[in-house]
Amino acid sequence: MVMAASVVIAVGAATGLLSAFDDTRGGADEARPPEVTRSPSLRYLPVVPSASPSATKSASPESASPKPTPRRTTSTPSPPMTERKQQPTVVSSRLYRHPDSQVLDWVRDHPADPRHTLIRSRIAAQPAAVWFADFTPDTITDRVRAVTSGGSALGRVPVVVPYAVPDRDCGGYSEGGAPSLDAYDAWIDRFAAGLGSGDVIVVLEPDSVAQSECLSAGARADRFASLARAGRVLKEANPRARVYYDAGHSGWNAPAKQAQWLKQAGAASAASSDGVFSNVSNFHATADEIAYDRQVLDALGGPPGLGAVIDTSRNGAGPPADGEWCDPAGRKLGRAPTLATGEARIDAYLWVKLPGESDGCKGRPGTFTASYAYDLAR
C-alpha cells in the first residue's frame, strides 16, 4: 500500500521527543534506481516503497505502493490555503540527511538542467528517511550502522524505515518481505544491532497494521505479536531509539479500529513504542493528520509520553479529490521536516517518502523522476 521511495539505501508536541531531539532551527529525467532502501512510499514498493492506500510511500527496490482500495482512499475536505501554499524553506539542523539518495545522485549528475536549482534547494537539501526494504540478513546490520553512525558523527537524528514484514502490501505493488515471521524476527534482531547508541527514529513497517485486514485473524495476530517483539528488540538494542507504529492515515481506518489493532501490535507499551506514524507516502493535509493522530492516541491509551510523527513530504495541497494515489497531479511539497512542531503530541514532521520518487505512474515505482519532483517543488 505504500510505495517506498525515500532514501532507500541498500546500506538502505510530545515533551519526550522534543526534549530528546530538540530542533535548534525552527537531461535525463530519472536517477538510477535505489539499490535497497531510499526514500519510500509504501504503496509502490516493488523494492522501493511509495504510496499508501490513498497515500504514497517512499521506496527501495523492494518497496512499492499498494493498489488503492475504497477504505484507503476516503476523500477529505480540501486543506486551507495556508496549508496548500506552504513550502519547505528551513532545513532542519537536527535531522540527518544521508548522502546516498536518488535525488542527490540526480543533482550531482545534472548540474546544467534548468530544474536543478529548484530541486536541489527544495528537495535535495532536506533530510529524509532511509528505507530498508530488502530481505538481506547478512548485510542489514552494516547497512543500518552506516546510516546511524553517519547521523551520530554529525550530531543529527537519522530516520530509518524497516520494511520487510512477511506478506507486505498484501500482494500489491510493494509485495515482498521476509519469507516467514521467524525469518523476520531474526532480520529485526540484525537490524537492531546496527542502531548504535545515538538518537534515531524508527518508522516501523509502514502499512503493517493499517493494511492487515487482508490477513486471516490468526495471521494478523501472529504479525502483531511479531511487531510488538520488534519494538522491544529495537528499544532494548538502543534505549535512545524512538519507535513509531503504523496508524495509516486520516482517510483510512476509523481511529478506534486503528487503535485496537495498534494495541495488539504493542504500540501502547512503553517497552516497545514511542507512539504512531501516519500519512506515509500519502497526501492528507497536516491539520487532518494531527486531529486523526490525536484521536488514535486517545483511543490507544498507554503512557502519557506517546506521540505521533507525520509524513509531510507531499501533502502541501492535500489529497486529490478523486482519491488518486499514484503520482497524482497538482500535489505540492508539505512542511519541512522538523522535530519542533509546536503541536501537542506531534513529535515530528518527517519526509518519509522522498518527493520525486514515483509511485509508478510518472516513472518506474520508487525511481526518482525529475519532472515529478519539479512539479512538486514549484
Alpha carbon distances (Å) from 108 to 31, 146, 256, 354:
10, 21, 46, 17
* 207 in catalytic set: yes
* 288 in catalytic set: no
Terminal alpha carbon distance of the chain = 27
Q: Kindly give the pairing relationship between strand 307-311 and strand 275-278.
A: parallel
- List the catalytic residue out of 207, 246, 274, 288: 207
* 22 in catalytic set: no
| DSSP β-bridge partners for residue 41 | 50, 57
| DSSP β-bridge partners for residue 39 | 6
What is d(CA 201, CA 199) in angstroms, rounded to the nearest whole number? 7
- List the catalytic residue out of 23, 246, 288, 359: 359
155's CB contacts (< 8 A; 6+ apart) are none
What is d(CA 69, CA 252) in angstroms, rounded to the nearest whole number? 9
The grid coordinates of residue 124 equal 535535495
- List the catalytic residue out of 169, 199, 246, 327: 169
Are 3 and 53 within 8 A, CB to CB?
Answer: no
- The sheet that has 57-58: what strands, in order across it? 6-7, 38-41, 57-58
| Residues acting as catalytic residues | 169, 207, 359
